[in-house]
Amino acid sequence: MSDQQTNRTDGESRQLDAVVIGAGFAGLCALYKLREDMGMKVRVYETGDGVGGTWYWNRYPGARCDSESFYYCFSFSDELAQEWEWSGKYPEQPEIERYLNHVADRFDLRRDIQLSTSVTRAEFDDAANLWDVYTEVGERVRARFLVTAVGCLSAANLPDIPGRDSFAGELFHTARWPREGVDFKGKRVGLIGTGSTGIQATPEIAAEADRLTVFQRTPNFTVPARHAPFKPEDQARIKQNYAAIFDRTRKSPAGFPYFPIDRKTMDVSDEERMEILDGLWQEGGFKFLWGGFNDLPTDLQAIEIVSEYIRDRIREIVKDPETAELLCPNDHPYGSKRPPIDTDYYVTFNRDNVSLVDIKKSPIQEITPTGLRTADAEHEFDLLVFATGFDAMTGSLLRIDIRGSEGVRLSDAWAEGPRTLLGLQVAGFPNMFTITGPGSPSVLVNMPVAIEHHVEWIVDCIQHMQDNGKTRIEASEAAQDSWVEHVAEVSQYSLMGKSNSWYVGANIPGKPRVVMPYTGGQPMYRERCQAVVDAGYEGFEFGA
Ligand code: NA7
């Protein structure tokens, strides 16, 4: 079915059981489960003209998943898992977008998805216990439940650098990349940002452009992905073991199908540690952080050893010593920011057509019609790429005018930072569920695993309401206060709060500094969610 056929703009006011905002992993999963398990009348609104969410928008060169394909996918259908063939370890954006389109077709989801339609406002009607949801095309629908599936990294951050709109060349944000692609051939390109995105895009752009200048504010620790295509025997082994793989993803701290090894960094001799780190570096991927030692998320001495190991690899790979030092992070411990995974990032700085500019030392002062000016130089470009990230975790929710009970605005309720109960509900916003909302492990867990858990919890909760003749559910203020307190307390044991990352909102000027994801790990979180259910949805208040 074409995208166009799924669009509906009939302008009528319809009553639904649930409105879901977003048609990425979370929205597709929510639609499937609410419809199949509950028989609910659901409508999904999606801004993009295709499904896929993150994997629809982020089509920049080099966009690739950092989790391995065979567990970065849905587990709710064994048939789906058995029939889909991943081409290799770390799928590129087009392959994941194809997968999500396949899911939409395979489960006949498109008939309830309205593409190219942003939800602009949602208001709770206290008298009816219903949500009124408004779209940019003038529609209004009423629904018992509002399920936000807006993604944690969806609200693109395009910094308001003076003169930005005066640039006469082409300017792109990586998360709003044109579907038809961008031609870099023969062009002088400036790229701002060295997070996961900038690190993935740099080698690809460098290979095509005439010249690439990377503007780095904070150097980042990245480890090689070591992508490799699957052989038929890899596919067979994975498919035979899918039940066990998915089971492990639900039980492990970060939603991967492996558990931390019971070994501290200082438990082994220097030689043995070096051997382990070399092995992990050769293997590549997130295992470098999770698979060698169990004290890396918390022990500063251990982290410094591993950080220095990475710095040594940078010095080994990058030929120009000055560039190598500039690429070596010194202002934050490894793992306190989201660790990127790369393919040929550091080696790209050995190319003659690539240069690195330290904008901490010499900040960007303005964008000009012909390029940009830093404190000590003028740079000319044909094309500027902003790999400047997202207003993470709250941005995509707060860009919608959401008004809860008695007209309270979500933006006011969260003025000092996000407040939720379990990352699933917000006090004062009855019948609204936030899939992978702030206060849940979300971005610290392999996302499809976190999403499926939330969707299952929501479906069970709605079933409980139906069984008990309830039409309204709301987190109590007291339970929410104590969850927010718990999330803050647990975060003291992690290093996440100590560096300036999007985890704490530090990348967005004026955003309250709060550790937004729950850092206690998936097992503890799931236990808390289950305990709440077992105690009769303790902390939630129901109304008839
Ligand atoms: P990130 O990780 O937030 O990285 C954004 C980069 O852009 C980072 O290097 C920032 O430097 C830089 N940045 C942001 N604003 C500015 C301004 N105003 N001037 C100069 N440089 C700036 O976003 P990504 O898209 O790379 O990755 C997001 C997530 O997607 C990633 O963590 C994975 O989960 C997938 P800073 O570090 O703030 O100094």
Ligand 1, atom 29, residue with closest C-alpha: 196
CATH assignment of the domain containing 130: 3.50.50.60
Mean pLDDT taken over the chain: 95
530 within a domain of the structure (yes/no): yes
Residue 193 in domain: no
Residue 386 CA, closest ligand 1 atom number: 7
C-alpha to C-alpha distance for 473 and 428, rounded to whole angstroms? 10
- C-alpha torsion angle, residues 469, 475, 478, 484 (rounded to 10): 150
For the chain, how many structural domains are there in total? Answer: 1
Ligand 1 geometric centre to CA of 519 (Å)? 21
Please tell me if the CB atom of residue 115 comes closer than 6 angstroms to any atom of ligand 1.
Answer: no
| Separation of CA 393 and ligand 1 centre (Å) | 14
pLDDT at 9 over 80: no
What pLDDT shows up at residue 499?
86
Q: Which of 231, 251, 339 is nearest to 75 (CA)?
A: 251
Task: Quote the pLDDT of residue 494.
Answer: 87
Q: Tell whether 480 is covered by a domain.
A: yes
- Using a 6 Å cutoff on CB, does residue 444 contact ligand 1? no
Q: What is the pLDDT of residue 201?
A: 98
Residue nearest to atom 10 of ligand 1 (CA): 193
Please report the pLDDT score of residue 278 as a whole number. 97
Mean pLDDT computed over 165-185: 97
pTM, two decimals, is 0.96
pLDDT at 46: 98
pLDDT tens digits, 74-99: 999 999 999 999 999 999 999 999 99
CB 70 within 8 A of CB 245: yes
Give 492 Cα–ligand 1 centroid separation in angstroms: 24
Task: Please write the tens of the pLDDT for every residue from 213-223.
Answer: 999 999 999 99
Q: pLDDT above 70 covers what percent of the chain? A: 97
Determine, yes or no, domain membership for 71: no
Examine the pLDDT at 3 and tell me if it is beyond 80: no
Structural domain boundaries enclosing 515: 3-51+109-155+392-536
Q: What is the rounded distance in angstroms from the CA atom of residue 169 to the CA atom of residue 301?
A: 47
User: Do 157 and 388 meet the contact criterion of CB atoms below 8 Å apart?
Assistant: yes
- Residue 65: which of 447, 347, 444, 336 has the closest Cα? 447
Ligand 1, atom 35, lies closest to the CA of: 196
- Residue 387 in contact with ligand 1 by CB distance below 6 A: yes
Distance CA 172, CA 189 (A): 11
Is any atom of ligand 1 closer than 6 Å to the C-beta of 462?
no
Read off the pLDDT of each residue in 111-132 and give the average, rounded to a whole number.
98
Res 299: pLDDT: 85
Closest atom of ligand 1 to CA, residue 197: 26
Structure confidence at residue 1 as a pLDDT band (50, 70, 90): very low
The dihedral through the CA atoms of 99, 105, 111, 112 has a sign that is negative
Residue nearest to atom 6 of ligand 1 (CA): 193
Q: Which residues of 6-16 are buried (b: 16+ CB within 10 A; e: fewer)?
A: bbbeeeeeeeb
* Residue 247, domain member (yes or no): no
CA angle in degrees (0–180, nearest 5) for 508-513-514: 120
**pLDDT surpasses 80 at 453:** yes
| Residue 222 in contact with ligand 1 by CB distance below 6 A | no
How many beta carbons lie within 10 A of that of residue 352, not counting itself? Answer: 6
| Pocket lining: 195 vs ligand 1, CB cutoff 6 Å | yes
The pLDDT assigned to 13 comes to 53
Q: Residue 7: what pLDDT?
A: 37
Please report the pLDDT score of residue 12 as a whole number.
46
Closest CA to 60 of 387, 391, 443: 387
Please choose from 58, 160, 217 the residue to mutate so as to test ligand 1's pocket, defined by most ligand atoms within 8 A of CB. Answer: 217
Whether residue 167 is predicted with pLDDT greater than 80 in this model: the reply is yes
For residue 4, pLDDT over 80 is answered with no
Percent of the chain with pLDDT over 90: 91
Q: How far apart are CA 57 and CA 48, in angstroms?
A: 8
Res 14: pLDDT: 65
Q: Is 198 in the pocket of ligand 1 (CB under 6 A)?
A: yes
Helices (runs of H) and strands (runs of E) counted in the chain: 18, 20
Instruction: Please name which of 45, 19, 31, 47 lies closest in space to residue 155, comparing C-alpha atoms.
Output: 47
Does 55 score more than 70 pLDDT? Answer: yes
pLDDT in tens, 138-149: 999 999 999 999
| Residue 107 confidence (pLDDT) | 98
The residue whose CA has the least distance to atom 13 of ligand 1 is 388
* Residue 461: pLDDT over 50: yes
Q: Which of 93, 177, 197 is the best mutation target for the ligand 1 pocket, counting ligand atoms within 8 Å of the beta carbon and taking the most?
A: 197
pLDDT score recorded for residue 291 = 85
What's the chain's Rg over C-alpha atoms?
23
Q: What digits encode the pLDDT tens for the residues 300-309?
A: 899 999 999 9
pLDDT tens, position by position, 463-484: 999 999 999 999 999 999 999 9
197 touches ligand 1 (CB under 6 Å): yes
